[in-house]
Amino acid sequence: MNQLLKIAILSTLAAITLGCSNPARSPVPVAKTATTTATAVADEEHGHKPSAHGGILVPIGRDNYHAEAVFEKGGVLRLYLLGQDESRVQEIEAQQITAYVKAEGDAEAQSFALNAKPQPGDKAGMTSMFLGNLPAPLAGKKLEVTVPSITIKGERFRISFKSVTDERAADHAMPTKVADEAERKLYLTAGGKYTEADIKANGNVTASEKFKGVKAEHDLKPKPGDKVCPITLTKANPKFSWVIGGQTYEFCCPPCVDEFLTTAKEKPAEILPPDEYKKK
């Protein structure tokens, strides 16, 4: 083979080998800093633990954090900051927050300030609560509140929520336990749909006796087809079942059994079959 041809072939092979052993590198992604935003409408069902102060739980940043919004009499709004686990208090940087509020259906919002109000135990320069006064004409109305920017650990978030309507507050309010003497009379005497056979089927005890030590956990976001508590419309727990009219009903907690049984005895026509208490 011609010497010049051999050299050309060897040079070509070398170039191909080097090209395969040193492929072009993919571009390295460049980190970008962006403002994180999260919006939560609190009058939609939100499957979290019950709030500590009876307020509205609002997820922040895809549930990285939470806030509890408490509307008080006199037009006061408290905003408690919580962690990913809503039972944990979350301290954040002390700051003044500008919020915007409008009555449902209004076109224009009014601004008001939410000021840092540290709770006992908060570190210097940090706070786990904010406090503000709603514009006077809006106190007591159904409101929509937006916080365009709140800083948590250097990240900025957006929050929005609505105050609870009276109807929804009634739906999800947890009833209080019946007093001991009245409770025994309620459970151990027949009346309305509640029969002697039911009393025997339930073990001749009250709900607080039967479920003593059983922890109630309220799931506010039942799925379609799930059984719901007839009182709160939260997801029913089969641990809290009670026989009424020969049929088994499921509840979220013992005080709801109290209230439902009272209705079964005093207004039996209002009691539906167990299968009717399901999430549509």
Name 142's Cβ contacts closer than 8 Å, sequence gap at least 6.
Answer: 103, 104, 162, 163, 165
3-state secondary structure of 210: helix
Q: Residue 61 and residue 153: Cα distance in Å, rounded?
A: 12
pTM: 0.46
- pLDDT tens for the 280 residues of the chain, in order: 555 444 444 444 444 444 433 433 333 333 333 333 333 333 333 444 555 677 888 999 877 899 999 988 888 999 999 998 888 899 999 999 999 999 988 999 999 999 999 999 999 999 999 999 999 888 778 899 999 999 999 999 999 999 864 444 444 455 555 567 788 999 999 999 999 999 999 999 999 899 988 888 778 888 999 999 998 888 999 999 999 999 999 999 888 999 999 999 999 999 999 999 999 8
Classify domain 56-165 by CATH number: 2.60.40.10
Are the CB atoms for 77 and 138 separated by under 8 Å? no
Domain boundaries, the chain: 56-165, 174-276
- What is the sign of the dihedral through the CA atoms of 41, 46, 51 and 55? positive
Cβ-Cβ contacts under 8 Å for 55 (sequence gap 6 or more): 68, 69, 70, 71, 78, 80
